[in-house]
Amino acid sequence: MKRKVIQIDQDKCIGCGLCANACMQGAIQVINGKATLVSESYCDGLGMCLPQCPMDAIQLVEKEAAAFNTARSNIKLKSAVSTGPACGCPSAQTRVIEQKDEGQAPLGSQPSNLRQWPIQLHLLNPAAPYFQNANLLLCADCVMAAYGDFQEKLLKNRTIAIACPKLDNIQGYVEKLAQILSLNNIKTIVVARMEVPCCGGITGILKQALQMSGKEIPVREVIISVDGKIK
């Protein structure tokens, strides 16, 4: 029978696994570092995995294929993730943090370079004052733990948004970031990510957000190795 199933371009695939996480039927697995359709009968043809791919490596094609195995419907249960801040939650309350130059810090006491709150991309208010005329740091969660010079070399004098391209709601991130770029005069963007393939998705999020916003902003990518070095 002819029906729609996904097709994965192995040359474009970076093995991030975001498509596998999005597939409700378990039709996609990462095998030998590449996303692979394990069986056409597992694919429902709805294409829920397409918007999750940061490399545009997946497309829907109509072809002769085995019928969809309905027994696999809803094999995974996922909860929806809100793209907006939780009303009344202290973690989402917008705050500008004024940092004072107090000279040499006491031994063992390093002042923070954080300029705003919150920092998680899902919680950020696109109209927050700290975005106007800002230099933006779009940062994968793990970078802050891996890179010892994070505060001084990356965070200082930048407004930050953190995200995890593997575990979080990617489409929500794209839309929120596009709003931030559209509403504000962002001067420069630094993307900081880990060297692992799945973390490349954060660069894909920014690429989609820039296209959606229609903005042209200078971008620099910083890749951190798992042992804490800039690659």
The answer to which of 1-15, 79-93, 110-124, 200-214 has the lowest mean pLDDT is 79-93
Mean pLDDT for 13-30 is 86
Beta bridge partners of 116: 96
Residue 69, pLDDT above cutoff 60: yes
pLDDT at 78 (0 to 100): 39
Put residue 17 in one of left, alpha, beta given phi > 0 → left and psi -120 to 50 → alpha: left
Residue 179, pLDDT above cutoff 90: yes
Contact 192, 219 (CB under 8 A): no
Mean pLDDT in the chain?
85
Residue 88, pLDDT above cutoff 60: no
pLDDT at 99 (0 to 100): 61
Contacts of 193 (CB under 8 A, 6+ apart): 139, 140, 143, 165, 199, 200, 202, 203, 221, 222, 223, 224
